[in-house]
């Protein structure tokens, strides 16, 4: 029977991932992708990694959408002076 040690038991629970910055979550997601692409991870651990990766992907998407919503565009008056701000519009 295979025994796993804590360090190779699989991914950490992503439930606490909400505390991660976008950059940290993306770094963890990239690490998971590398592990899965290597093909060296047992099936059960691959499934757990995939699940954690999906949670991290969702967190990254949420953080990007929140950042996009905060982006504001400065509007200028006729003389080119800042006149106010408008919400970001990607269209």
Task: State pLDDT tens for residues 44-77.
Answer: 999 999 999 999 999 999 999 888 777 766 666 7
Label residues 30-68 b or e (16+ Cβ within 10 Å = b): eebeebeeeeebeeebbebbeebbebbeebbeebeeeee
* pLDDT for position 37: 97
| Domain ranges for the chain | 17-87
State yes or no: pLDDT of 13 exceeds 60: no
User: Residue 22 — very low, low, confident or very high, per pLDDT cuts 50/70/90?
Assistant: very high
Q: Domain 17-87 belongs to what architecture?
A: Orthogonal Bundle (1.10)
Stretch 36-47: mean pLDDT: 97
Strand partners, 74: 85
**What whole-number distance in Å separates Cα of residue 16 and Cα of residue 24?**
12
């Amino acid at each position: 029977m295979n025994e796993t040690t804590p360090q190779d038991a699989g991914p950490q629970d992503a439930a606490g991932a909400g505390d991660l910055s976008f950059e940290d979550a993306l770094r963890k997601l990239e690490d998971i992708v590398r592990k899965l692409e290597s093909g060296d991870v047992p099936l059960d651990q691959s499934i757990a990694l995939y699940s954690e990766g999906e949670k991290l992907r969702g967190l990254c998407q949420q953080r990007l959408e929140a950042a996009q919503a905060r982006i504001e565009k400065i509007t200028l008056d006729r003389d080119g002076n800042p006149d106010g701000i408008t919400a970001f519009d990607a269209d």
